[in-house]
Amino acid sequence: MNTSTSQQPRQESDRQGQKKWYSSITARPEIGPLGVMLLLFCMLGYFSIPEGEFSLNPFSGEGFNALGIRNNFRVIAQLGIVALGAGMLIIAGEFDLSVGSMIGFAGGCMAMILKWGFAVVIPYISFDGGFHFEGLKLFEITDVSPLTALLITLCFTLSFGWFQGWLIVKSGIASFIVTLGGLFFLRGVTEVSYRAFNRAPDQTAGSTTVTELPDIKNIINVPGHGEMERDAAKLLPNDQLLEILSNVPANTVAKLTAQLTYVNEKVAESKTILASKKMIETLEKSLAGAKKSGNDSMVEILTKKIEAGVEVPAVVAKAVTDIDVAKAYIDTIFTARPVANFFGGDIMEPVFDWLYFTADWNVNNYGNIFAKGMYSCLMIWLLLALVCYFVLSRTQAGNWIYSTGGNLGAAQANGVPTNKVKISLFMFTAFCATMFAACQVFEVNTADTAKGNLKELEAIAAAVIGGVVLTGGFGTILGIILGTIIFGIAKEAFFYIPGIDGSFYRVFLGAVLVAAALTNENIRKRIIGSI
């Protein structure tokens, strides 16, 4: 019987149904970065456990204590901000090598404006007393707020980003060449500007660092004393501090008193433990010396003392005074400069207070609180990441970005405004660099031309490790986030590995970068059906 006529032709759904259950998972560009991140997570956790201790909990290591988490996420968040801009641009099929120089330029603009003010000057040539240049000052702002400095800087950086994007789409020159020129131009302009403003009478060349900026994020409005720096407020005469305290609600005073009492008791307890450990260590050194000299009687005596344990007088906790409460209250006053605090302050303080006072985890060896909170750059990074995710995944603009990078000719034929897409993303990259610079300026109150060195390469590498294909049209925001986390924790992880140079992390990241590029291209071809 001929059954050929009874057989139905194979449907595409039949082929799809034969795929393994894990095929959709392994086809995701984030799967590789996720595995590398978990590997580094374990390395950082287990290798940072103090020598002589054993734990199956990776959070017991120094890499994941409160301070370690705070510092690691600072590095991750700052790199993540610029990686989002670089990654979005790569998805659209372009590069921006000027990001690092843009960071130094933006930081310098903000710092110099905050320190010396801002003026619009028209230069002209004067022959009065010889040939020289002079300037006609149209207007000047001497007392510039952080918001004003940020907005003025954004005008410069966004304009430069627009110009680079416009030049690339209009001239057809490769973005690699244009932005490489932008890298040198911005770095040169930044260094020249720094030296011009920092030039001292006895210097042939001024400094490339702007320092002595006011600690703007810690300028507070102390009741009865106006705006002043937090440290200066706590140095007020005792009678003035007590006067401030007299106007504080009783429940606030009681809460602060209880917290300070807890801290003092914790510090006293930790000092007692440290004194006992120090005494034991002294006895152990003496024991080693006695064994080496062959003094058996002394070895026996010291061994018994060590086995019995050493009792030291308990450290008495410091009593809490009204002056202490007044200074603690000053620390609770919110800054009078919300923009500076937004970029350079701390977040999640209540969580870290709970980890200290309730969970008893956020405690250093001396009994003090280990970390007050997370750096605010983490919040900025996450907010930008949410915006980027929404744009790429939920808007028509996201489809335009993918189509522009995937097939430029087809995108143009379908009416996609590819030129506007590219210019907008160059401006967004400049915006991200400015946000990065603002976080650094308002956090440390300084600016330096070297702040952004090599950040453009790190940002591109983080995006590629996160699954972004250099040819464009492929990648996700989640992948960029994972790639950034890999970069952030790799350095710390290798630092804790005993017997290995901390710089080895660059070797590791180089290998991961090449492997990620090959993997990403393979996944892209599988998805589009090229193989």
What is the SS3 string spanning 368-400? Answer: CECCCCEECHHHHHHHHHHHHHHHHHHCHHHHH
Of 485, 471, 482, which is closest to residue 520 (Cα–Cα)?
471
- Spacing of C-alpha 63 from chain mean position: 16
Query: How large is the greatest C-alpha to C-alpha distance in the chain, in angstroms?
Result: 113
pLDDT recorded at residue 531: 45
- Print the domain residue range for 296: 228-336+353-375
Q: Is 167:178 a contact under the CB 8 Å cutoff?
A: yes
| Tens digit of pLDDT at every position of the chain (531 positions) | 455 445 555 554 554 455 555 556 555 666 667 777 777 777 777 777 776 666 767 777 777 888 888 988 998 999 999 999 999 999 999 989 999 999 999 999 999 899 888 887 777 676 666 666 666 667 777 788 899 999 999 999 999 999 999 999 999 898 989 999 999 999 998 888 888 777 655 555 567 888 888 888 889 999 888 889 999 999 999 999 999 999 999 999 999 999 999 999 999 988 888 888 888 888 778 888 888 887 777 878 777 777 777 777 888 899 999 999 999 999 989 888 899 999 998 999 999 999 888 888 888 888 888 888 999 999 999 999 999 999 999 999 999 999 999 888 899 999 999 999 999 999 999 999 999 999 999 998 888 888 888 888 889 888 888 888 888 888 889 889 988 988 888 877 777 777 677 677 778 778 877 877 777 677 666 666 554
Question: Does a structural domain hold residue 525?
Answer: no
Residue 332 forms part of a structural domain: yes
pTM: 0.84
Continuous H helices in 65-118: 66-91, 99-116
3-state secondary structure of 134: strand
* Residue among 300, 240, 312, 308 nearest 276 (CA): 312
Instruction: Tell me the three state secondary structure of residue 124.
Output: strand
Q: How many structural domains comprise the chain? A: 1
Tokens of 182: 């932008």
Q: Hey, what amino acid is at 358? A: T
Q: Cα(493)–Cα(77) distance, rounded to whole angstroms?
A: 17
Q: Give the model's pLDDT for residue 211.
A: 81
Q: For residue 435, give the nearest of 71, 75, 78 by alpha carbon.
A: 78
Each residue of 472-503: b (16+ CB within 10 Å) or e?
bbbbbbbbbbbbbbbbbbbbbbbbbbeeeeee
Q: What is the per-residue pLDDT for 1?
A: 45
Q: Which of 416, 425, 437 is nearest to 475 (CA)?
A: 425
Flag whether 284 is in a domain: yes
In a domain, 260, yes or no: yes
For residue 461, is it within any domain?
no
Select from 310, 241, 253, 259 the least CA-distant residue to 281: 310
Closest of 51, 99, 48 to residue 78, by C-alpha? 99
Amino acid at site 451: K
Helix axes of 146-171 and 99-116: crossing angle, nearest 10 degrees: 150
For residues 448 and 50, what is the distance between their CA atoms, to the nearest angstrom? 36
Please measure the distance between the N-terminal and C-terminal CA atoms of the chain and give it in whole angstroms: 39
Check residue 101 and give its pLDDT.
Answer: 93
For residues 151-170, one letter each, b for 16 or more C-beta atoms within 10 angstroms of the residue's C-beta and e for the rest, the string is: eebbeebbebbebbbebbbe
Instruction: Give, as one character, the DSSP assignment of residue 235.
Output: T
Domain membership flag for residue 237: yes
pLDDT at res. 134: 67
pLDDT of residue 224: 87
CB half-sphere exposure, 158, CA atoms < 13 A: 10
- Which helix (H) or strand (E) segment holds residue 420: the answer is helix 418-444
Residues linked to residue 375 through DSSP beta bridges, in sequence order: 346
Establish if 491 belongs to a structural domain.
no
For residue 420, is it within any domain?
Answer: no
CA–CA separation, 174 and 178 (whole Å)? 7
> Which pLDDT does position 320 carry in this prediction?
93
Tokens of 420: 């506007």
Instruction: Give 249: exposed, middle or buried? Use CB within 10 Å, 0-12, 13-18, 19+.
Output: exposed
